Structure 1
Amino acid sequence: MSAGTALAQQPPAEVVYYGFDPDIVTNYVSENRRSLGYLRVSVELMLPNKELLKTIEYHEPLILDTIIGILSKQPEQRVKSLSGREEIRLQILEQLQTVMKRETGQTIVQDILFTKYLYQ
């Protein structure tokens, strides 16, 4: 059996997504300092299997606190740029993996997606 055939016979990797309801709404630091910017995001966590859903549900308050904490400290130019948005996404992913490793012994979160990203 060739390596290609062996790979074709393996079942696809199971991936599960966990979303937060309602959307995450927070403020960010506006450049003019007289007003706060407003940010509304929908976040989906990518998990390696459905057995981890209960763990994520249990730690949801900690996860939301981590996400909101990072979003609320972002400067306006980072929030409003595409490259900044990707930097924020990666920062949240890294921090969530660190927090979940500390709490559960596993990184659990494979990736995160912003399915809605609105700012004003």
Structure 2
Amino acid sequence: MADEDIEAGGGGGKKKLIIIIVAALLLLGGGAGAFLFLMGGDSGGKDDIVIEEEVEPVNLQAIYVTLPQPFVFNVTGDSQQRLVQVKVQLMVRGDSNESLAKQNLPLVEHSLLTTFGAATVEQLRTPQGQVEIRKQAADTVQTAMEKVTGKTVVERVLFTGFVMQ
């Protein structure tokens, strides 16, 4: 009798193990599906980046210029103001563009503050809105740099840190 109870108990343990494994696989699959669903909206942005890379000479090495301080600013929306902190890096190609970007950091910072100051909470909440703000920031910086240096200098504006409270 005791031997039969032990064998019966062992089968229940196997069933529990199988159920746990199946549940874990379902959770992983659901998480992967949610990730792909939420990140799938950025495919249009990736196409735009490829187009920009075709315009710029790709034989030069990409160099990242870190801005010395993060941008901290208020945005309005909903019923209250929110505080946003953004750490930014500039992607440039070639040593000459790197030195131009570093020489004109005050101009770059002004251009970015102008763009960030026009942002709303609704834009900054969504990944699509953040991509839109990054594109606007890149366009603003490129326009300002072209007026001063005669070249766009900055290829992309990258957010390396983003906090909204």
TM-score between both structures, scaled by the size of structure 2: 0.61
The separation in 2 between residues aligned to 1:93 and 1:101, in whole angstroms, is 12
State the aligned residue count: 108
The separation in 2 between residues aligned to 1:69 and 1:29, in whole angstroms, is 15
Gaps of 5+ in 1: 1-11
Please identify which structure carries the higher helix content: 2
Larger Rg: 2
User: Moved runs in structure 1, 4+ residues, more than 4 A?
Assistant: none
The separation in 1 between residues aligned to 2:95 and 2:64, in whole angstroms, is 9
Residue equivalent to 1:118: 163
Over residues 56-113 of structure 1, what are the superposed CA-to-partner deviations in whole Å (9 max), with x where a residue is unaligned?
1221111111111111211111011111000000000111111111111000111111
Gaps of 5+ in 2: 1-58
Taking only aligned residues, the RMSD between alpha carbons, in angstroms, comes to 1.6
Is 1:27 aligned to 2:74, yes or no? yes
The separation in 1 between residues aligned to 2:162 and 2:95, in whole angstroms, is 26
Any conservation in 2 of the 1:15–1:50 contact (CA below 8 Å)? no
Q: 2:108 aligns with which of 58, 63, 76?
A: 63
Matches within 5 A, 1:54-93: 54-93=99-138
Q: Which has the higher contact order (CA 8 A, sep 6+)?
A: 1
* Offset, 1:25: 1.1
